[in-house]
A and B are shown apart, each in its own frame.
Chain A
Amino acid sequence: GAGVSQSPSNKVTEKGKDVELRCDPISGHTALYWYRQSLGQGLEFLIYFQGNSAPDKSGLPSDRFSAERTGGSVSTLTIQRTQQEDSAVYLCASSNIGLSHEQYFGPGTRLTVT
């Protein structure tokens, strides 16, 4: 596709369950980012992948969060033992490398933990 895609668009889960969120970046973009956005808040950086380099996981809020990127393309963000405070919109973005390169965002996954 032409843009970044994410699935599912909405996910409702019970507290304590695990969830997987998927991101398919723009073809050819080597950089991939995961962000979290709570209602009325700015973007919270979670994790960054660049090519075959080790990912920067410095933004992950706890060890319940993990992410992987297979084959330098599709990425999956996994949240284990979900908590109510995990409820947010999870946004994925991709870009070419470099400070001036804009990030292209996917439509996001709205996660609701009940």
Chain B
Amino acid sequence: GQNIDQPTEMTATEGAIVQINCTYQTSGFNGLFWYQQHAGEAPTFLSYNVLDGLEEKGRFSSFLSRSKGYSYLLLKELQMKDSASYLCAVTHMDSNYQLIWGAGTKLIIKP
């Protein structure tokens, strides 16, 4: 079956670095998305990984290991506005449009 696991909640300090992990078990895996969702708002796109390795985009980086079924989102130089939920979602060959979504990780940034 399809399954995605993320920690429910994490806390970090302003200015620090935090890594949010996502593990998945899904048949026909194709790629993995990370979305950010502030409380009461809609999710917004952060990254999409298809190949193994690290992709950097400003303060945010996303890593994928297809063989391990593992991804992480790395946030550097944390700011208070980074307090949000971070959703991991995978695409799979069995469906050319559906995403399988994790429950999200609520990140709390403290001063």
Contact = CB atoms under 8 A, between A and B. Distances in A.
Interface in A83-114: 91, 97-100, 102-108
Interface string B84-102: 0001010100001111011
A100 B44 CA distance: 15
A56 to B, nearest CB: 8
Given A99-B31, A102-B48, A43 B42 contact: no
Contact of B45 (A4, A103, A106): A103
B102 A42 contact: yes
Q: Interface majority SS on B: helix, strand, loop or mixed?
A: strand
Interface string A25-49: 0000001000000001111110010
B97 to A, nearest CB: 6
A42 B104 contact: yes
A105 B43 contact: yes
B30 interface: yes
A31 B96 CA distance: 11
A104 B43 CA distance: 8
A78 interface: no
Q: Which of B87, B99, B103 has the most CB of A within 10 A?
A: B99
A35 to B, nearest CB: 8
A50 B50 contact: no
B44 A99 contact: no
B103 A41 contact: yes
B99 A107 contact: no
Contacts of A105: 42-44
B72 interface: no
Interface of B: 4, 30-31, 33, 41-45, 48, 50, 87, 89, 91, 96-99, 101-104
Interface of A: 4, 31, 40-45, 48, 50, 56, 91, 97-100, 102-108
